[in-house]
Amino acid sequence: MLINNAHSCCDVDFWTKHLGNTEANERAELKEIRGLKADNLAEALNEMQALARDHPRTKNFMYHADFNPRRDEHLTPEQRERAFEMFEKERGIPPDAARIVMEHVKEGRQHWHVMWYRLDDNGRPFSDNLDAKVAHRAAAKISWELGLEKVISPLTREPGTPRPKRAPKAWEMYRGDKSGLDTREVTADITGLLQLCENDGKAFSQALETRGYILAQGDRIIAGEPALMVIDLAGNSHQLSRRIEGMKAAQVNELMQHIDRASLPTITEAKRQYDDRTIAALEADRATVRDEIERAEALANAAIEKEKIEQRFLAKEDREKETLAGGKEHETEQQPPRPRFGDVLLSRATEAAMRDPRQQHGDHLTSPAAFRDALEKNRLGLACVTPEEAAKSRREAEFAKAIERYTPEYQAGEIVIVREQPKAGSSGRVHKLDQTKAEDYLRCLGIDKNQLQGIEATKRTLDDRAQMRQRAIDAAEQRKARGPQRGGLVQQQTWALQRLREAEQQRQREQEHRQREYAEKQKRDSSDLDPERYRMDPEYRRQVQNTQSWKSPEDKQRDRENDLRALIEQQDRGR
């Protein structure tokens, strides 16, 4: 049994989405709501938030813990309830505290998320200090009592034994889910590069650059040297020593001692380099795909026109005479069938996926993630024809035939390829596929035909993706245009002076605000306080604490801890 992510929190919107996420989990089921009137997850969390509004001094009004048994360990409802009860006792949670229990099944592994309401009737929260130690201690007791396998943690390992591998932090996992690049994948990739370079620092730095990583200089001092940072393929920053397994910061400094850290860009400059490189790659991909599509469309249109012209030379009367005379048509060489335009588009996406860095060397099968990204980069999407769309295409094909034109007819359940809106004058957006190859592509993606959207839904998805990409390009261009680097030294100096003036104005506003708050505080505290009544009357004591600035030392310490924890949680979400 392992208890993860035990901490206090306050973000109702995030936990509503995370606990009810059915895309990342095979199943997300609400198991229990205790001490609340709500009957679903969202209303229960909102009810906790409404209760906490009466006690605004405590920001983190919820407490979360994640109970994770091993894949082959299955707990009965009684064992699960006993595990929750033991954790509540170890953490100091009141037995009647309101709580929510969500059961998730992810990759066949069953685990539970429990969310408690921290405040009692007087607005006093239970302690959330030393979360990691309490969670590891409770997990060890639960494993011993329920007969589960004990998980060795950094806090419960035997003296002299090696430290277990460090797990990613919560904000790193959240950032990886948002960007699509897991922190553990980055660690495995960078560690593998170092092993290929046989611990040669110069070769390792060149390998990082070749793979697409950007080395940068951090703000902190680690092991006596400025920290070496690396920007990954998704634009996230990492401390290099944390992404190399089995090496400490001092060893990394010794390995990379050939690098002049003063010449490295800062993290902000490195991310700007990443933005510029990403924009350039998007522009190059768009130009390449546009040229290839135009060339393929020109070839297809030329072939269609040639076929129409050749058919006109064989008159209907000549064909009838040859048939009546028993003549045989001249045997012609069997030409190989021309590939469909949709198959050509998919083959290009497959070739791009095989060149992806995530593709294992020597693997003849395309990686699902690489193939999915290649489809997105080539502005393509797979769709399954719905019965309504098949009937509509049949009517359009009959009408086109009546006016001596051609429109493709689709069958219900047929897999087609859809691309983004092409240029004016080019062929349509939907193209037929060889169904055998299409099934192979779906197996490569690991999805079933029933999971595909229809043609119109896929068109809307591609249009939304194109708009988001264009907005990202426009925003990056605007950031680049607003930067001081484009106007020479004079504009850079002007920009720097403007920033200094704005900082000074902000400092003055904050000072005036503090002076006003201090004056109001003095005005509130000017009223006399009755010590005897404050000591004997709880209602009067609560009224004084809510209306005046007086606080006990314990209250002040708790407020400082809550403010620090809320700030850390806000920074984690911002990353």
- The reply to whether 253 and 379 lie within a common domain is no
The parent domain of residue 99 ranges over 2-146
- The reply to whether 237 and 281 lie within a common domain is no
- The reply to whether 351 and 435 lie within a common domain is yes
- The reply to whether 140 and 186 lie within a common domain is no
Question: At which of 429, 451, 471 does a domain end?
Answer: 471
- The reply to whether 140 and 188 lie within a common domain is no
- For residues 93 and 85, give the distance between their C-alpha atoms in angstroms, rounded to a whole number: 9
- The reply to whether 62 and 203 lie within a common domain is no
- The reply to whether 138 and 209 lie within a common domain is no
- Structural domain includes residue 242: yes
- The reply to whether 122 and 202 lie within a common domain is no
- The reply to whether 58 and 207 lie within a common domain is no
pLDDT over 90, % of the chain? 10
- For residues 139 and 84, give the distance between their C-alpha atoms in angstroms, rounded to a whole number: 10
Give tens-digit pLDDT for 42-83: 999 999 999 998 888 888 999 999 998 888 888 888 998 999
Looking only at the bridges linking them, the beta strands covering 99-106 and 109-117 are antiparallel
- Structural domain includes residue 420: yes
> Burial code of 30-43, b = ≥16 C-beta within 10 A, e = fewer?
eeebeebeeeebee
- Structural domain includes residue 157: no
- Structural domain includes residue 458: yes
Question: At which of 238, 265, 292 does a domain end?
Answer: 265
- Structural domain includes residue 550: no
Question: Any idea what the Cα angle at residue 134 is, between residues 132 and 136, rounded to 5°?
Answer: 65
Q: Domain total for the chain?
A: 3
In the prediction, which pLDDT does 399 show?
81
- Structural domain includes residue 84: yes
- For residues 395 and 409, give the distance between their C-alpha atoms in angstroms, rounded to a whole number: 9
- Domain of 68, CATH number, reads 3.30.930
- The reply to whether 46 and 140 lie within a common domain is yes
- The reply to whether 116 and 234 lie within a common domain is no
- Structural domain includes residue 46: yes
- The reply to whether 378 and 236 lie within a common domain is no
End-to-end CA, the chain: 30
In the prediction, which pLDDT does 328 show?
45
- Structural domain includes residue 10: yes
Listed as ranges, residues in the chain with pLDDT below 70 are 1, 153-158, 160-164, 306-342, 353-366, 423-427, 479-490, 521-529, 545-553, 574-575
Question: At which of 471, 504, 532 does a domain end?
Answer: 471
